[in-house]
């Protein structure tokens, strides 16, 4: 009985192995269709421009179309949620600020996904910073003068929204300086900038490209940039690390290339390598500098480590603010 069954079992096993091999051979190489790239900001925003530049170069590198889709809302979590819920096959990716992972899970209790568990951070595409500016009428010309003024007087600062990088950078600055200021969250950087220009608020933490034209005309005074390195657009403006005499202070943010958790290792590796090659090319670096961004193209290991470190950094700030958003 056993002798009669053995040839049949061996034949069946051989057929199964052959079928698996054929299926693997017939599987289309990645990518075999259009890739979607979700962005949580409106068209024209620095993160959108970065995503479109990356999409253009990724399409050239992979020989397949890469289409950018804008899904603004919920502090960029709306777009990230679409990515998190997608099939982990490499055809739905996202470009998000790191706050979608480091901060949003703490302040948006109604999110339908867990950014820390449902998303892979494939690469840090770029770093970006915020600029501290004041209305000339305040008479403040340095960050040290602002700290002294805030200690003695009621002052109000503007940001482009609660929980956005400008808000977070301001609160970290205030904590490091040991002073307090009132905060008004506007619906985006444009109205926040208008409020500072009009003197409705004393100062603001806002994206450099948004406020720099007004700094150049003298309508705003630039006090500092939040990153550890000077801005390529305004190298004469000191960093907060210099202004506060804290050499290790770095309040910069990151744009992440993300994918659904569970992405095949080969696909993840291909995208990680593509990000590294694309974001470090001289022409891409030059185009990003015009947006006050620094191309990085890190490895996945570096991206995950930085996200983990920034999550630990922002948690006490968010807790102190008792910030909860719908």
| Rounded CA separation 211/240 (Å) | 17
- What count of other Cβ atoms lies within 10 Å of the Cβ of residue 199? 11
| pLDDT score for 27 | 58
Residue 62 has pLDDT above 50, yes or no: yes
Tell me the residue length of the chain.
326
Average pLDDT over residues 52-80: 95
| Three-class SS state of 118 | helix
Residue 320 or 123, more confident = 123
| pLDDT score for 305 | 97
| pLDDT score for 189 | 87
- Identify which of 284, 266, 291, 18 has the alpha carbon closest to the alpha carbon of residue 129: 291
pTM here is 0.87
Q: Which residue has the tokens 């490209």?
A: 209
| pLDDT score for 26 | 54
* pLDDT band with cut points at 50, 70 and 90 for residue 325: confident
In tens, the pLDDT along 292-315 reads 999 999 999 999 999 999 999 999
Q: For residues 47 and 56, is the Cβ–Cβ distance under 8 A?
A: no
- What count of other Cβ atoms lies within 10 Å of the Cβ of residue 179? 16
| pLDDT score for 97 | 95
| pLDDT score for 24 | 46
Residue 324 or 279, more confident = 279
**Which two three-digit tokens encode residue 132?**
């501290």
Residue 262 has pLDDT above 50, yes or no: yes
Percentage above 90 pLDDT, the chain: 81
In tens, the pLDDT along 169-221 reads 999 999 999 999 999 999 888 899 999 999 999 999 999 989 999 999 999 99
Contacts of 310 (CB under 8 A, 6+ apart): 98, 102, 254
* pLDDT band with cut points at 50, 70 and 90 for residue 75: confident
Residue 23 has pLDDT above 70, yes or no: no
| pLDDT score for 45 | 84
Average pLDDT, the chain: 91
- Identify which of 160, 127, 131, 132 has the alpha carbon closest to the alpha carbon of residue 50: 127
Helices 300-321 and 165-177 cross at an angle (nearest 10°) of 70
Residue 14 has pLDDT above 60, yes or no: no
Residue 118 has pLDDT above 50, yes or no: yes
| Rounded CA separation 296/127 (Å) | 7
Residue 121 has pLDDT above 70, yes or no: yes
Domains within the chain, CATH numbers bracketed: 35-129+252-321 (3.40.190.150), 133-243 (3.40.190.10)
| pLDDT score for 188 | 86
Average pLDDT over residues 25-34: 81
Average pLDDT over residues 118-123: 98
Beta strands (DSSP E) in 119-262 are 119-128, 131-134, 156-159, 182-185, 203-206, 221-225, 253-260
């Amino acid at each position: 009985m056993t002798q009669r069954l053995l040839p049949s079992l061996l034949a069946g096993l051989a057929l199964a192995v052959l079928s698996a091999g054929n299926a693997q051979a017939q599987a289309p190489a990645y990518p075999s269709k259009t890739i979607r790239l979700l962005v949580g900001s409106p068209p024209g925003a620095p993160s959108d421009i970065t995503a479109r530049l990356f999409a253009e170069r990724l399409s050239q590198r992979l020989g397949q179309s890469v289409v950018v889709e804008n899904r603004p809302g919920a502090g960029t979590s709306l777009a990230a949620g679409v990515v998190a819920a997608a099939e982990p096959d490499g055809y739905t990716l996202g470009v998000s600020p790191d706050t979608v992972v480091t901060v949003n899970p703490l302040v948006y209790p109604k999110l339908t996904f867990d950014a820390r568990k449902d998303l892979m951070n494939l690469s840090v595409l770029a770093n970006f910073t915020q600029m501290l500016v004041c209305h000339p009428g305040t008479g403040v010309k340095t960050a040290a003068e602002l700290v002294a003024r805030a200690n003695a007087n009621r002052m109000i600062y503007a940001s482009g929204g609660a929980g956005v990088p400008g808000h977070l950078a301001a609160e970290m600055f205030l904590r490091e300086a040991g002073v307090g200021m009132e905060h008004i969250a506007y619906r985006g950087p444009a109205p926040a900038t208008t409020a500072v220009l009009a003197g409705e608020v004393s100062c603001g933490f806002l994206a450099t490209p948004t406020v720099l034209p007004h700094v150049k005309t003298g309508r705003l005074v630039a006090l500092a940039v939040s990153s550890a390195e000077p801005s390529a657009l305004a190298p004469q403006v000191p960093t907060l690390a210099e202004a506060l005499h804290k050499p290790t202070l770095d309040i910069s943010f990151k744009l992440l290339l993300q994918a659904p958790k569970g992405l095949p290792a080969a696909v993840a590796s291909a995208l990680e390598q593509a990000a590294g090659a694309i974001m470090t090319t001289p022409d891409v670096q030059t185009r990003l500098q015009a947006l006050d961004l620094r191309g990085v193209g890190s490895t996945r290991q570096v991206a995950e480590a930085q996200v983990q470190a920034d999550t630990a950094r922002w948690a006490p700030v968010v807790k102190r603010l008792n910030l909860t958003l719908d």
